[in-house]
Amino acid sequence: MITQTDLTDNIQADIPELSDTLCDKAKGKNVYQVMYTLLDYTHSKIVEHNFNTVKKCLQVAEKLYEKGNGMVRNAVVNVFIYSFSKLLLHDKEDRKMLISLIPISLYTLYIKQMLHSNL
């Protein structure tokens, strides 16, 4: 089970480019700050149209959700999943590409979140 104390290690193992940034965030061990760091990085790669790295980020988020404890799972849902609407591009083709990269488990959570927000 991935806890808040080993969250940064798990992300760094899959995305070494985030090591320096995550080390700064890990000092406070704030799970939400760490997830915002992953989100910001993912967003920057979407803007760059670096969809291979975006896919890797989405897979990391999925792993964190599936293997994380309650706090890690909540951070994935409340930070990462909640921001999907902002991440989805306006260009129709890029949007299709991005949606195709989202793991089904995360996309299902996103749809549930959207349905509950419209109630």
How far is it, in rounded angstroms, from Cα 104 to Cα 52? 17
Torsion angle of alpha carbons 19, 102, 93, 113, nearest 10°? -110
Mean pLDDT of the chain: 89
pLDDT tens digit sequence for 8-66: 999 999 999 988 887 765 555 689 999 999 999 999 999 899 999 999 999 999 999 99
pLDDT at position 107 is 93
How far is it, in rounded angstroms, from Cα 104 to Cα 5? 27
| pLDDT band, very low/low/confident/very high, at 89 (cuts 50, 70, 90) | low
Q: Where are the domains of the chain?
A: 7-117
pLDDT at position 21 is 82
